[in-house]
Amino acid sequence: MTDLPEAQRRTPAGKLRARGAGIPFDGEPGAWNAITDVPGVEVGYCTLIEGDGPLVVGTGPIRTGVTAILPLGLARGASAVWAGVSSLNGYGEMTAFPWVDEAGRCEGPITLTNTHSVGVARDATIKWLVARPTARDRDDAQFWLPVAAETYDGELNDINGHHVRDEHVIRAIESARGGRIEEGSVGGGTGMRCYQFKAGSGTASRALDIAGERYHVGAFVQANFGRRYMCTVAGIPLGRHFPPPEEQRATQETGSIIVIVATDAPLLPHQLRRVARRPALAMARSGGVSAHYSGDLFLAFTTRNAEAVQEARRVTRLDYLPDQLLTPIFEATIQATDEAIVNSFVGTAAMRGKDDHLIEAFPVERAREILRHHGRLVF
């Protein structure tokens, strides 16, 4: 396993990924082991890190940003795709959730940011969409309900300073690219933590064959949940070996996770709603319990049959995978989401933010020793 492709071992910036640490996962990853393995999907970031020391509301320190996921890429950024949503615990925000659930479609870029910037992300996305020449061909081109979702970064970030502005959202959208993407403290994940380790953005994918066709399932997480003792990696309760600092031991679990699942399998909206429920099982696999104050919101979309989504004037046709063949898609979703959660923290450096509050890095080498002891290390 030491001959793993570099894209599966490290991020473009050289951060270690879970497979690069020798952590085992089931299933076959795609070439990038990222949501961008689903053809057409592109991801962009805008990361805002500025200032140190005591909190001065409106000034900083700033540890936040925006992530943009474009289901059909930047060139088709105003287009819609079939989609489904699910809420495991609703103490969070995902705009357009009722419309996606009602109509089975998601329109334009999906943005992820901090709790108090989700409105800005939504509104700036609408401004970007309205300005797109291709958007003017729609029958309802003056009306948009894009998806913007959030998790809370107020432990490190001056969240009440409202530092995310329109230009940051648009920068994230217009920087969207395919291929390898960064993880950890980037974009909307900049100020987040998972199991009281520094975390944030994470991604993974699976490639699978169903009825003679090759498909991909990719997951992207913005992870910001869990107490240290809950953390489970490769079936081993690693978090119990790493007690948090004394001042964080009494912290109540108030975190959240947003999961975006993409596939190129031809699924219908009711099937995508079923896929959107499966990240909950991955969250539990890693130790999450979906606490009272958790906002655990999931969205799944397919890039297939996009032409049928756009059709508004005549009867149209599309292909779809029979319900009886969905189980491998469910399994791939759980596998990719579980790995994306671990990728969100395994190679992410410690970060100090407002009032010098420190979120520790995941102790990779010590974790490897424990996993090796349990026979759960690949190399």
Three-state secondary-structure class, residue 51: coil
- Cβ atoms of residues 67 and 294 within 8 Å: no
How far is CA 212 from each of CA 76, 208, 215, 325, rounded to the nearest angstrom? 29, 10, 10, 12
Q: What is the token pair recorded at 184? A: 């950890």
State how far the Cα of 35 lies from the Cα of 15, in Å rounded to an integer: 17
294 as an active site residue: the answer is: yes
Q: How many helices (DSSP H) and strands (DSSP E) are in the chain? A: 9, 14
Single-letter residue type at 348: T
State how far the Cα of 299 lies from the Cα of 92, in Å rounded to an integer: 14
State how far the Cα of 10 lies from the Cα of 329, in Å rounded to an integer: 26
- Cβ atoms of residues 73 and 42 within 8 Å: yes
Q: Which of 256, 286, 290, 344 is catalytic?
A: 256
Q: Which of 158, 294, 338, 344 is catalytic?
A: 294
Q: Which of 117, 296, 338, 344 is catalytic?
A: 296
Please give the order of strands across the beta sheet that includes 42-50. Answer: 42-50, 62-70, 110-114, 148-151
Three-state secondary-structure class, residue 128: helix
Pinpoint the alpha helices (H) of 24-157.
97-103, 118-130
Residue 356 burial class via C-beta count within 10 angstroms: exposed 0-12, middle 13-18, buried 19 and up: exposed
Active-site residues: which are they? 256, 294, 296
